[in-house]
Amino acid sequence: MNWDKDAIFKALSDSTRRLILDELSDRNELTLYELTARLIMKYDLSISRQAIAKHLSALEEAGLVTSERKGKYRVLMFNNEPLKDLLKGWVE
């Protein structure tokens, strides 16, 4: 798939978004509540779920995060394919 490189770089330019990706790569699936709790406890961030949801929107737009409904929860997952595609030409 051809990913929007500008959207990927824009998404990665924010340190909070990079922390979100770190957490999602450590754990396969997280709900918004679990992600918020981990960011607050582990990194001592004072951030609301609404602010994290806005960051997630940018990450989803770049293709770096996907989500699916599981019961009454929306589960978030890290998608590393856009990064592999982005670096493919430079690393190989």
- What is the reported pLDDT for 2? 76
- What is the reported pLDDT for 29? 95
- What is the reported pLDDT for 33? 95
Whether residue 89 is predicted with pLDDT greater than 90 in this model: the reply is no
Q: pLDDT of 45-64, one tens digit each? A: 999 999 999 999 999 999 99
pLDDT band at residue 90 using 50, 70 and 90 as cut-offs: confident
Order of strands across the sheet that contains 73-78: 30-31, 73-78, 65-70
Residue 19 corresponds to which tokens in the numbers above?
């922390």
Q: DSSP class of residue 68?
A: E
Indicate the domain borders of the chain.
5-86
Nearest to 65 by CA among 50, 73, 76, 55: 76
Q: What topology is assigned to 5-86 in CATH?
A: Arc Repressor Mutant, subunit A (1.10.10)
How high is the mean pLDDT of the chain? 94
Residue 70 corresponds to which tokens in the numbers above?
């599981």
Length of the chain: 92
- What is the reported pLDDT for 36? 96
Residue 69 DSSP SS3: strand
